[in-house]
Chain A
Amino acid sequence: MNAQQTWPADDASPAYNYAYLDEQTKRMIRRALLKAVAVPGYQVPFGSREMPLARGWGTGGIQVTAAIIGPDDTLKVIDQGADDTTNAVSIRRFFEKTADARTTEATAEATIIQTRHRIPEAPLRAGQIMVYQVPQPEPLRKLEPREAETRKMHAWAEYGLMQVKLYENIARFGEVTTTYDYPVMINGRYIMAPSPIPKFDNPKMHMSPALQLFGAGREKRIYALPPHTSVRSLDFEDHPFRIQSWSAPCALCAATDSYLDEVVIDDQGARMFVCSDSHHCETRRAQGHRGTMLGDAATSGLVDPSPSAVIPGDRRETRDPFRNPTEQGSGMDPGSALRSARDDDAKVEAGAKS
C-alpha cells in the first residue's frame, strides 16, 4: 500500500466486504457462536477483530451482528433502551453503510436487535435474535482479577465466592446492592454476566423464545442463550431476587410496567420519569395513552404528542411490572409480585428430569 494509490472517496463500500468483516472472519465468529449456543452461558474465546469503532463502544455486538446479518434481516439498534441515543445511531449507520441493512425502530419488526444496557419492553418472539454488547463478560472478574483463575472456577462450577459476595451485601446493606449486570445462573450450570442491563430486565431472559447472543469485543469472548433456556438470577430463599420499581408511572405514556429513566427538568430539583424504551413509549402514546406531563413536553417541542404513524406489530397489554414475562397468562396469583425467577427455574428443571 502506498499513498499514491487512489482512495475510494464517496463510494467507500466496494472497498469492504458485505457487513465489513471478511467471510473468513465471519465463519470464525459463527463457529464461536455455534459453540456458545451448544454450551449455554459458557464464554467462548474468539479472534475478536479490530473494528473501525472504538473498543468498549460495542465492537463485540457489532462483530456478532456482522457475522449473522443478511439481506433479509431487519435490524434494530438500541442503547439505554432508545433507538436515538448517539451510539445506537452510529452503529445503525455503520450497518446501513456496510450491509445496506434495513433498519427499524419497531421491536416486533426486527429480526436482529443489537442492544446496550436494555432488553425491549415488548416481549420477544421466536425467530428474533438479541445481540448484547458486553463490556465485561466475566461475572467473577470483580472477585478474581486473573483470567487463568476464573476459567478454572467456571470449569469446576466453583461459585461459592459469588454466593459469599451476595451474602456479604445482604449482611451489610440488607439486600444485594447489584442493580445492573446482576449475575445469573444459566441452565443450572454456568454463572453468566447478563451484560449491564438493569436487573429489571433479567426475568425477560428466562425461557425467552428468542435467541440471545453476547459479544465482548475487547475481552474477545462470545456467549449465548439458546431459546427457552433457564436463566435464574442468583438469590437466597429468604432473600428472593427483586427488580426495581417506581412509585409513579411514565410521565409521557402512563406505563406502569416499564423501566423508567429519571430526567431532571429544572434547577429546582424537579424530575420526571419516562420510559427508557423509546419505541415502547411512542407506541403507547400512539395508542392514546397519555401521561401527566405529555402536554408540557409537547409544548416545549420535546415530543410529538400524537405520532401520526401507527407503530405496527405491538400487541402488548399492560402487565404487572414485577412479574416475569414468561409467567404472563399463566393465571398466577398477582400477589406473588416480588417473586424470584428461581421458582420457575426449579419447575423447568423438575420438568426436564421427569
Chain B
Amino acid sequence: MYVAVKGGEAAILATHDLVAEARRGDAAVPEISVAQIREQQGLACARVMNEGSLYDADLAALALKQAQGDVIEAAFLMRAYRTTLPRFGSSEPIDTARMAIRRRVSATYKDLPGGQVLGPTYDYTHRLFDFALMDNESVMVGPDPTISGQDGASGANAAGDARVKPEHDAKPLDSHMPRVPDILGAEGLMEPEIAPEGDPRPFDLTREPVSFPADRDVRLQAMARGDEGFLLGLGYSVQRGFGNSHPFVGEIRVGEVSVEFVPEELGFAVDLGEITLTECQMVNQFAGSKDVPPQFTRGYGLAFGHSERKAMSMSLVDRALKCREFGEAAQYPAQQDEFVLYHSDNVEAAGFVEHLKLPHYVDFQGELELIRRIRKERAERLANETEALPEAAE
C-alpha cells in the first residue's frame, strides 16, 4: 500500500547493509573467523549441520557467522544451499559398530565388552562459570584439578589460572565395542530390525512429498533434521505421562565413522572420509501381543556431530511413533506421525510463523468489514428488542 511501503526496494537494500553492520558489531573488537567458529563452537556447528541436513563443518561455521549465531537461520542457509547440490549417488550404509569411539555409555549394564567410555561430556561438570575463559587464552584443562592431579602425579598448580595439563592414565580403547542392542538381540530379547521387503532405497523427503501414514525411514529422516528443542519437548512428554514409554539408554556412542561410496564405473567401495556421529539406542519395554512374545523394543536416534540431546530425544520419539507397528493406540502427540513430522521442521515452522510479519491488510480489511457489519446488525437488533419490550409487558 502506498503509505507504508512506497520505496520498499530501497528500504530492503538498506536492511541488508544494516544487518551486515549489526553482524560485525563493535569494529574495535577483533572479528571472529569461520575457522574459530568451526573449532570452538563445534556443538553449535553440529546442530546447524543436523537441522540443515548437510555435513559440512566449514559451511556450518560460515552459516553461524553470517546468521550472527542464530541456529535456525543458519540451518536455513545450509538447506537453501544443499538443495542446489547435484546428487551423484548414495553412500553405502554406514556401520556404527565399527565406529572409532570417543564416548560410549550404557545405562543398562554396569560393564560390558569395550567398557564405559565417558569421553568429553558436560554431564559431570558443575555448572559454575570458569572465569579463566574470560581472560586467558588456551585453557586446555578443566576448572577442577583432575583426579590424577589430586594424586599429585602431575603436580597441578594450586593457583588455578596457571593450570597444568595433567597426564591422564588414558588407556587405549578396545578395538571391539559391540552395540548393546546387538547383545540383547543375540539373546532374542530385542525386537529385531528387519529391512523392508526388497530393502528398497530409503525415501528422500527433500525430493519427494511425504504421505501418511509415514514409514520409519521417512520418520527417522524427518527427525534427524527436526528441531532439537521440539524433539526434546516431545521426548520429555513421552516420559512425563503423554506416552507410555519406559525407556533405558541401551547405549549412546559418539565417534567417527567412515563413509564409503561405490562409483558405478569402479564397482568397488571407495572411502570418502569420516563423519562424526552420535547414535542413541533406547531400550523400551513391550508386554507383547497375541503374536509376539514379550520383548524389548527399540527407539533409535542418529545425529551428526556430538549431539547427544538430539539423538536421545529422537530415539524416544522414534519409539513412540512405532505405536502403529506394535498395535498400540496413538493417544499422545508424540505418537502421531503427522503431528511430529509436520511440526518438527524448524525451518518450515519458522518461515510460516514469521510470515505473519508480512502485510495482511487485505484479509484484515475483510475481517474489519465483517465485524463492523455484524456489530451494527446486532446493535440494531438489540435496539428493536428493547423497543418491543414494553409492548410485551402490557
Contact = CB atoms under 8 A, between A and B. Distances in A.
Interface string B208-221: 11111100000000
Interface in B123-182: none
Given A3-B34, A3-B58, A118-B362, A85 B1 contact: yes
Given A135-B352, A276-B1, A302-B2, A50 B79 contact: yes
Interface residue SS majority, chain A:
loop
B348 A261 contact: no
Interface string B82-119: 11111000000000000000000000000000000000
Interface of B: 1-3, 5-9, 11-12, 34-35, 56, 58-59, 61-62, 76, 79-80, 82-86, 206-213, 338, 347-348, 350-355, 358-363, 365-370, 374, 377
Given A55-B352, A218-B352, 17 more contacts: A3-B59, A49-B206, A50-B347, A51-B80, A54-B347, A55-B351, A56-B348, A57-B351, A82-B2, A84-B9, A118-B362, A148-B212, A180-B362, A198-B362, A246-B369, A259-B362, A262-B365
B84 A173 contact: no
Contacts of B76: 54
Interface size class, chain A:
35 or more
B367 to A, nearest CB: 6
B369 to A, nearest CB: 5
Contacts of B86: 22
A87 B35 CA distance: 34
B58 to A, nearest CB: 4
Interface stretch (A40-48, A310-318, A321-329, A341-349): A40-48
Contacts of A118: 362
Contact of A49 (B35, B58, B83): B83
Contact of B374 (A90, A173, A200, A218): A173
A220 interface: yes
A52 interface: yes
A81 to B, nearest CB: 6
Nearest to B35: A3
Contacts of A116: 358
Contacts of A57: 351, 355, 358
Interface string A290-316: 000000010000110000000000000
A249 interface: no
A212 interface: no
A287 interface: no
A146 B212 contact: yes
A2 B57 CA distance: 9
Contact of A262 (B210, B212, B359, B368): B368
